[in-house]
Amino acid sequence: MKKIVSILLTGTILLTGCSINTENTTDITQPATENTVISSDSYMPLNYSVQKATWLPYLEFPEYISGKTEPEFIEAVRNMLSELSAEGINTVYFHAHPEGDAYYKSDIYPKGTYLDGEFDPLETFLDTAHSMDISVHAWINQYRMQKQEDMEKLPDSFIVKQWINSGSPMVRLVNGRYYLNPAYSAVTELISNTAKEIVENYSVDGIHIDDYFYPTADDSFDAEAFEASGCSDRDSWRRENITAMVKSLYDTVKNHDDRLKFGISPQGNINVDYNTQYADVELWTKNTGYADYIVPQIYYGFNNAVCPFEATLRQWEELAQNGNVQLVIGLAAYKCGKYDKWAGIAGENEWIDNPDIISRQIELVKASESADGYALYQ
């Protein structure tokens, strides 16, 4: 997050040499009030019709959480949010459940890997952010669990470890890390209970998930469940599994309080979403009942050989034209000043040679008739 703040502090990204327009007041609106269902508690969710967001990933937690007392954490959070707020950021996606652990008080998951104190990071972050009129969405990685060596250290009471110890196909090991298997209703129920635990106990403004869907396309990952399903089209069946999870999460959030937001941040490449991760982003974006907002990770430069930014933005605009789902564009601030080995010959040095990529992309988002803000990942 310190790098994100450095990006936003001035018109120039000091750490990477990438510039950004920090004009910050004209498109920040009052909290959206279109939903009228009254929550069971007194909290009024805070959300904006135009998001200017950042992710706060767990990889930043060693700096902000590890070794900190609660007062020290509060001070660090307030300093960080003050700088973000001054530059127009109005929404933060806080990594509450990154890899089978919890940075909140959970009866389901073990304590967060980088949390060595006794305070509650999510509660503290919410209190501080809300005092500054910043919306906070609890970001969960739904299927990703611990690495194998870390799982072995956890108590046997952890439900996922029980599944592993029993040989259940509901958890699979892929490249040294465990992942929940989307094919099983018990897995979907666990993920929904994760969101339920958060929204029932914390004054979050929404729940946010990103692009951890199927971790592999290998047939062996879910062969047993697919054979038992009686289906003949594995790809369609997998997409139905992911959509069932998305629908369940959306309903869980809305059943608690219809004013809360549920958002999804898939990869920017629609073909990869659909055919490799089995995420039916077209269905979720064009129809109501799956998400309130979608944040495609359009982490590409203008000269990217496969997904040039402007053309990819237009593809997502077409999906969002009906206006049922808010479109927020995910931007790759982390690429500024760096070599992009996947961009092709024309784009591999683009982020090094052009310090204004992010500012140009923000201007295109602002000019879009379909997009309702942007989110920066650093």
How high does pLDDT run on average in the chain?
91
Q: Quote the domain boundaries for residue 16.
A: 2-377
- Between CA 125 and CA 24 the distance in angstroms is 22
CB of 316 closer than 8 Å to CB of 329: yes
Domain CATH number, residue 115: 3.20.20.80
Neighbours of 112 (CB within 10 A): 24
* Token pair listed for 5: 């703040």
Percent of the chain beyond pLDDT 70? Answer: 89
CB of 324 closer than 8 Å to CB of 283: no
Give the pLDDT band (50/70/90) at residue 257.
very high
Neighbours of 153 (CB within 10 A): 9
Instruction: Name, in order, each residue with C-beta under 8 angstroms of 98's C-beta and a sequence gap of 6 or more.
Output: 57, 58, 112, 139, 140, 141, 144
The whole model's pTM is what?
0.91
pLDDT reported for residue 25: 35
pLDDT reported for residue 22: 39
* Token pair listed for 363: 């201007």
Number of domains in the chain: 1
- Between CA 59 and CA 207 the distance in angstroms is 19
Q: How far is CA 178 from the centre of its chain?
A: 19
Q: pLDDT, tens digit, for every residue of 183-222? A: 999 999 999 999 999 999 999 999 999 999 999 999 999 9
H or E element, residue 56: strand 51-56
What values do phi and psi take at 54, rounded to 5?
-140, 155
What values do phi and psi take at 63, rounded to 5?
-75, -40
Q: Which of 272, 269, 274 is nearest to 297 (CA)?
A: 269
Q: pLDDT, tens digit, for every residue of 25-39? A: 334 333 443 333 444
Q: What is the mean pLDDT of residues 315-324?
A: 90
CB of 1 closer than 8 Å to CB of 16: no
Give the pLDDT band (50/70/90) at residue 323.
confident
287 to 156, 290, 292: CA distances (angstroms) = 41, 7, 10
Q: Which of 298, 310, 239 is nearest to 265 (CA)?
A: 298
Q: Report the relative pairing of strands 326-332 and 171-174 from DSSP bridges.
A: unpaired
Residue carrying the six token digits 């500054």: 132
